[in-house]
Amino acid sequence: MNVLFLTLLDFNSLDENNIYTDLLREFAKNGHNTVVISPRERRLNEETQLITEDNCKILKLKIGNIQKTGIIEKGISTFLLEAQFKSGVKKYFGDIKFDLVLYSTPPITLAGVVEYIKKRDNAKTYLLLKDIFPQNAVDIGMMTKTGMKSIIYKVFRRKEKQLYKLSDHIGCMSQANVDYVIKNNPEILPEKVHICPNSIEVRPNPKNDNKEETRRKYGIPLDKTVFIYGGNLGKPQDIPFIIECLKANEKYDDRYFVICGTGTEYPKLKKYFNESAPKNVLLISGLPKDEYEGFVGCCDVGLIFLDHRFTIPNFPSRMLSYMQNCMPVLACTDPNTDIGQVITEGQFGWWCESDNPDNFTKAVDKALQSDLRQIGKNGFEYLKNNYTVKKGFNMIMQRIEK
């Protein structure tokens, strides 16, 4: 089977580790020829390039700037994606008949590309729904449904509905996502919406042999429980609220917090760090992926933050990284996502609502009174039983083979 995967994730090889490359590697392992279009943003000053691997071709397509840029440039670049991706398909893969088109959100603006391949090749189409846009942007005040600015929302909403209509199957991250999509898009046939959660290739149970050495390297206390947030630092995480949570815990000497990531809201954290100089917080402006994977193992509890205003049920994939490292998870989120329910029912962490820093402090207190090693093991077992890439691959294949 010839498989085309459309993504905004920037990667150069299937040997890399993330939820998409792990899944595509599973397709390749099972004998499917896989073609990927992965963007290369203009700010990198590199031209379009075709990379060939065993059972896989990756087109590094030069596009405009989507990340680490202003909202106007991001908006223009996003609108241009459809034409650029379609041109890339015609130029580099005009002689390949695709049997399956896989694509994820974000973005929703690739609907025209999906439609083109579906009509040209009579291909089956499968949406990996990782993001419900534009409603998520409305939730946190980046868009509005009324007034002059509503024009942008309406354009993106039409694109979203077009993408759902073109998709033969829609794989959602959790049951709350399934319920939300069906409820808010009554024109969609409910039977084509189902759960296909984030998944990874699970490695053997890791051993933190270098835990003390790593902590010393970064100046992290050896005698404190270390809570880490690793990932995007943007508006969805509500950085002002995270700062309030850190401030509420400055007076305690039994806990230590590491914030590691990049994003548009990072300067706010840097300002807090410079002005307050908290003794129990370490701020790191991101790490290379390999280094981060080694670093996260020296910590004790993984953190997830989501803005309390969200009405759409986000389900961050960073949870899997914590579980892979046998770490309990503490999620501080809006009440509409079911990630807290999954964590607590799976007995691998704690959940609190992200509307009051006191909620976060109480959840941290609970963690400090718990058997972190056992709870972390629970998370690793839950990962193996529910979120392996083999399970994700089988879910997709069972759907498209019906």
Same domain, yes or no: 162 and 240 = no
Same domain, yes or no: 217 and 165 = no
Q: For the domain that residue 10 is a member of, what is the CATH number?
A: 3.40.50.2000
Same domain, yes or no: 110 and 7 = yes
DSSP 229-269: EES--SGGG-HHHHHHHHHHTTT-SSEEEEEE--STTHHHH
pLDDT at 81: 83
Domain that holds residue 74: 2-201+388-400
Q: Show the CA angle centred on residue 133, arms to residues 313 and 37, nearest 5°.
A: 110
Gap between the Cα atoms of 367 and 360, Å rounded: 11
pLDDT at 12: 85
Same domain, yes or no: 350 and 293 = yes
Same domain, yes or no: 303 and 358 = yes
pLDDT at 208: 64
pLDDT at 226: 96
Q: Which long-range contacts (CB under 8 A, 24 or more apart) does 53-59 make?
A: 53/13, 53/14, 54/28, 55/28, 55/31, 56/14, 56/24, 56/28, 57/93, 58/11, 58/12, 58/13, 58/14, 59/35, 59/88, 59/92, 59/93
Same domain, yes or no: 47 and 124 = yes
Establish if 242 belongs to a structural domain: yes
Establish if 314 belongs to a structural domain: yes
Gap between the Cα atoms of 171 and 128, Å rounded: 5
Structure tokens at 109: 């603006």
Gap between the Cα atoms of 170 and 6, Å rounded: 15
Same domain, yes or no: 181 and 316 = no
pLDDT at 77: 76
Establish if 352 belongs to a structural domain: yes
Same domain, yes or no: 28 and 167 = yes
Task: Give the list of residues 6+ apart from residue 114 with CB closer than 8 angstroms, or none.
Answer: 6, 101, 103, 125, 163, 166, 167
* Contact in structure between 108 and 160 (CB atoms under 8 Å): yes
**Per DSSP, what are the bridge partners of residue 169?**
126
Establish if 363 belongs to a structural domain: yes
Same domain, yes or no: 112 and 246 = no
pLDDT at 45: 78
- 3-state secondary structure labels for all residues of 195-235: ECCCCECCCCCCCCCCHHHHHHHHCCCCCCEEEEEECCCCH
Number of separate domains in the chain = 2
Establish if 206 belongs to a structural domain: no
Same domain, yes or no: 136 and 177 = yes
Digit-by-digit pLDDT tens for the chain (402 residues) are: 999 999 988 888 888 889 999 999 999 999 999 999 988 887 877 888 889 888 899 999 888 777 767 777 777 777 788 888 998 999 999 899 999 999 998 777 788 899 999 999 999 999 999 999 999 999 998 889 988 889 989 988 999 999 999 999 999 999 999 999 999 999 999 999 999 999 999 988 666 668 888 899 999 999 999 999 998 999 999 999 999 999 999 999 999 999 999 888 999 999 999 999 999 999 998 888 878 888 898 999 999 999 999 999 999 999 999 999 999 999 999 999 999 999 999 999 999 999 999 999 999 999 999 999 999 999 999 999 999 999 999 999 999 987
Same domain, yes or no: 231 and 373 = yes
Same domain, yes or no: 381 and 394 = no
